[in-house]
Structure 1
Amino acid sequence: MSIRCCLHPAPRWAGVCSILLLALLCERFAVASDTWPEFRGPRGDGIAVDQSPPIEFGDDKNLTWKTPLAGRAWSSPVIADNVIWLTTAIERSAEEVVELKLLSLDAETGELRKTIDLSTVRAPDSIHATNSYASPTPVIDNQSVYCHFGTYGTFCVDRSSGQVVWQRTLPLEHGVGPGSSPIVHEGRLILIQDGMDQQYVTALAADTGQDVWTKQRPPMEAPTGDQKKAYCTPVIVTDSLGREQLLCMGSQWMVSYDAENGEEYWRLYHGKGYSVVPRPVVLGDVVFFATGFNTPELWAGRIDGEGDVTSTHVQWAVKKGIPSKSSPVLHDGLLYLVDDNGVASCFDTQTGDRVWKKRLGGKFSASPILAGNHLYFGNHEGEVFVLTLGDDSEVVTTNQVEGQIMASPAVIDNALILRTDEAIYRFENPSPAS
């Protein structure tokens, strides 16, 4: 069921204009097919429409290589210049020590190239059983890869030498462990720091790690800090007014900041949701976001306002079947998502109406991707469901890999790069015979 709020539905031509604007933005930010630089890919939305990875794969089918991985980590792979970068955490329970490391692998062969020691954390805080000490995904920018482990450290590593260029520690009480991934924009490393003890957004100089700006989050109505924490990853978007916005979803509030100086453009109150994980997606002047734990909801809000826009810029809200962890995919006017318990849904972006619902099965945390003409959903049980697009979507195949899927996959050069809790895989269709 969807609830329409505050605004009348946009006219049909507005949707067409939004799609055209999105197409222009996609062209502006086009990248090479061999690059997957941050959480959810080149545009941060999990989409690689120009790619054609296999729809059927497994340990005995369309497997190019499989490389075992040490440690426990839910961070996703990031890729550039034929090198895959991954963070991991080696837990030594008897010693009460966690070793944080950065790994690099050859994307063609899967061979481990480097193991870079970043930090040894002694007596770390406990984390949730479903989290890891290395859940935030790194980000690649120019010759650097940036690794963020929340309160356990932030590191800039030179991709050529493997040397740590700088490191910072920004203490925070996460409650259940780190989760928010960093992004880089215009020479600034941007971090959402929504902990139990404090909540703020900060930008560091990407080349030095020095503070550029810090902005405190809006006041919250919450009895404890547990209901103030969040784990979302920010989004950069330019609205129809020409403003470059930094969208930072958090507990109770979605907030837009000026990416250059951190000044606030607008804020939208979404209720008592907290521990927000899903990364928002944007179409034209509308942002779509999930509201976190308690009862997850899916909201659509316009981004062309100023100040508190709660009563003026909400287009619709859906209050059932929404994930608390997995991010949505937006394509051709439709939103695709899967809730924590394995029910996939498709919603119309203009109205919030549910187009279809399908039970996939299993538990889900990883975000889906869209590659070529298919959607890929991976669950905790190591199953990857491949669906067609559109309002008549169907499950075309279900693939099984060993291990647990908690990390969102990547796509490069028509190959699927998939991380489990045990290994990382490269799947691709065989080359045609010459």
Structure 2
Amino acid sequence: MRKPTKLVTLGLFVLAQLLFSCAGTYPENWTHFRGSNLNGLSDSENVPSQWSETENIAWKVPVNGVGWSSPVVFNQQVWMTTADRDGDWFSVVCFDFDSGELLQELELYRPDTVQRMHATNSYATPTPCIEKDFVYVHYGTYGTACIDTRNFEVVWSRTDLNCEHLQGAASSIILYKDLLIVHLEGTDVQNIFALNKHTGETVWQVGTPDQKAYNDVAPVYRKSYQTPLIIQVNGQDQLITNRSLFAISYDPNTGKENWRVFYGEDSAVSMPLYYNGLVLVNSGWVLSQGAPYFARLLAVDPTGKGDITESHVVWQTDEHVPQTSTPVIVDSLMFMVDERGSLTCLNPGNGEVHWTEKLKGHFNCSPIYAAGVIYFTNTNGETSVIKAASEFELLAKNKLDGTFKATPAVLRGAILQRSDKYLYKLAIMEENQAEI
């Protein structure tokens, strides 16, 4: 058999590259907070379950500033927002997925003044979202922008979408068709914007859902920190958002309200979930004698219209419900960890608890599922790996240095884990040797 000539080999290589470029994407990307489907589920296999500062680290790179936003990934680019600890500057960084090389660091905003912020928050907490050729970043009242990922140029920027955050911004942005959905709910105004993702222009806007109800609560409880979710019900898309006091469904094309559920006094952080025809929403803290006491989880039938508080809440619980992190649903099991480490597995269809265990530490990161296991990372960098099963089984505990509040991205057999100083790529190394 004749061996292929160098010219033929080169031609085949070029053809392969052309076909790959036409395909446009890698097998798995991570485009939003909690993944491309915003559900905390990764399709990745062969993901590491054990690591340390010297084991199964593909690379570890420093990140200027501080931010609790999660990394997002498209093709070879990893993007994150970051900011000066005191809010002097707001930037975005881009790393190469394979090598960790810094590809771009772009300062976007340098405000004259900044608002106060809760000590547990950062000035770069909202997670970006990304698609082919464009990444979208958001810093709350300080700015929202679109960047061309091919040349790193700013396509558009808005600094006129404002509110008084009081404790800082946290709501992440999401893409829907040609719209970028942006939550800006503060103590003064409570707005949701749908921006044209190509131009940044406002397509629709909704404000405070019930001014009278909001007047009856302290300003700090009028805002929300959550990330919305798009679901489909009877062939129609719904934008589900945990607003302060109310969970509300909107038509994402127009901003018209479908239904609402009244659920509590404080601000929601944990984002909504959707399982087997039920929307699962977090109330935020329910207050006792004026102080945060517990959070409530409600399962809502989203087929109703108007105020469905009394008619469409299927079940609810206030046992070990997280106020900050978002649970993950794997098949017919929901796994959630509250701030103090109480880990619960329950049936999302009826709220029946399968088991409850206790993990060490304080938890802000949302759990992520991949390859049959679930990762729970506490703020001290210790990750507990459990089997995704109706019986509790702890498989491993792993420790990295630093403070961890950003939810990891899990794709292509790797975990991207952000600390207060570094971005790690965790992967199974052939010799279990750190390559830093």
Taking structure 2 as the reference length, the TM-score comes to 0.88
- The answer (yes or no) to whether the contact 1:192–1:248 under 8 Å persists in 2 is no
DSSP 3-state at the match of 2:89: strand
Q: Which amino acid aligns with 2:278?
A: V
- The answer (yes or no) to whether the contact 2:141–2:184 under 8 Å persists in 1 is no
> In the aligned structure 2, how far is the partner of 1:75 from the partner of 1:51?
24
> In the aligned structure 1, how far is the partner of 2:43 from the partner of 2:317?
27
Answering whether residue 277 of structure 2 is matched by residue 285 of structure 1, we say yes
DSSP 3-state at the match of 1:404: coil
- Give the structure 2 partner of residue 414 of structure 1: 413
> In the aligned structure 2, how far is the partner of 1:69 from the partner of 1:257?
37
Deviation per CA, 1:136-169, whole angstroms, max 9, x where unpaired? 0000023111100000000111111111111112
Bigger mean CA deviation after superposition, 131-140 or 220-229:
220-229
> In the aligned structure 2, how far is the partner of 1:160 from the partner of 1:351?
47
- Give the structure 2 partner of residue 269 of structure 1: 262
The partner residue of 2:239 within 243, 246, 271 is 246
The partner residue of 1:172 within 153, 156, 163 is 163
DSSP 3-state at the match of 1:48: coil
> In the aligned structure 2, how far is the partner of 1:33 from the partner of 1:378?
26
- Give the structure 2 partner of residue 22 of structure 1: none
> In the aligned structure 2, how far is the partner of 1:387 from the partner of 1:60?
22
> In the aligned structure 2, how far is the partner of 1:208 from the partner of 1:411?
31
DSSP 3-state at the match of 2:220: helix
1:81 Cα deviation from its structure 2 partner = 1.0
The partner residue of 1:47 within 35, 41, 51 is 41
DSSP 3-state at the match of 1:291: strand
1:431 Cα deviation from its structure 2 partner = 5.1
> In the aligned structure 2, how far is the partner of 1:50 from the partner of 1:415?
8
Alpha-carbon RMSD across the aligned residues, in angstroms, is: 1.4
- Give the structure 2 partner of residue 390 of structure 1: 389
- Give the structure 2 partner of residue 376 of structure 1: 375
- The answer (yes or no) to whether the contact 1:101–1:115 under 8 Å persists in 2 is yes
- The answer (yes or no) to whether the contact 2:74–2:132 under 8 Å persists in 1 is no
Deviation per CA, 1:346-395, whole angstroms, max 9, x where unpaired? 11112212111111111111111001100000111110110001111211
DSSP 3-state at the match of 2:188: coil
1:430 Cα deviation from its structure 2 partner = 2.9
> In the aligned structure 1, how far is the partner of 2:149 from the partner of 2:184?
26
1:231 Cα deviation from its structure 2 partner = 0.6
The partner residue of 2:71 within 70, 73, 77 is 77
Q: Which amino acid aligns with 1:123?
A: T
DSSP 3-state at the match of 2:141: helix
Bigger mean CA deviation after superposition, 82-91 or 399-408:
82-91
Aligned pairs (5 A) from 1:108-123 = 108-123=98-113
> In the aligned structure 2, how far is the partner of 1:344 from the partner of 1:186?
36
The higher radius of gyration belongs to: 2
Identity %: 35
Aligned pairs (5 A) from 1:18-57 = 33-57=27-51
> In the aligned structure 2, how far is the partner of 1:307 from the partner of 1:431?
57
> In the aligned structure 2, how far is the partner of 1:393 from the partner of 1:224?
41
DSSP 3-state at the match of 1:172: coil
- Give the structure 1 partner of residue 330 of structure 2: 331
> In the aligned structure 1, how far is the partner of 2:70 from the partner of 2:382?
17
Aligned pairs (5 A) from 1:134-173 = 134-169=124-159, 170-173=161-164
Aligned length: 396
Deviation per CA, 1:148-195, whole angstroms, max 9, x where unpaired? 000000011111111111111211111100100000111100012221
- Give the structure 2 partner of residue 346 of structure 1: 345
- Deviating above 6 A after TM superposition, structure 1's stretches of 4 or more consecutive aligned residues are none
- Give the structure 2 partner of residue 182 of structure 1: 173
> In the aligned structure 2, how far is the partner of 1:78 from the partner of 1:271?
32
Taking structure 1 as the reference length, the TM-score comes to 0.89
- The answer (yes or no) to whether the contact 1:253–1:270 under 8 Å persists in 2 is yes
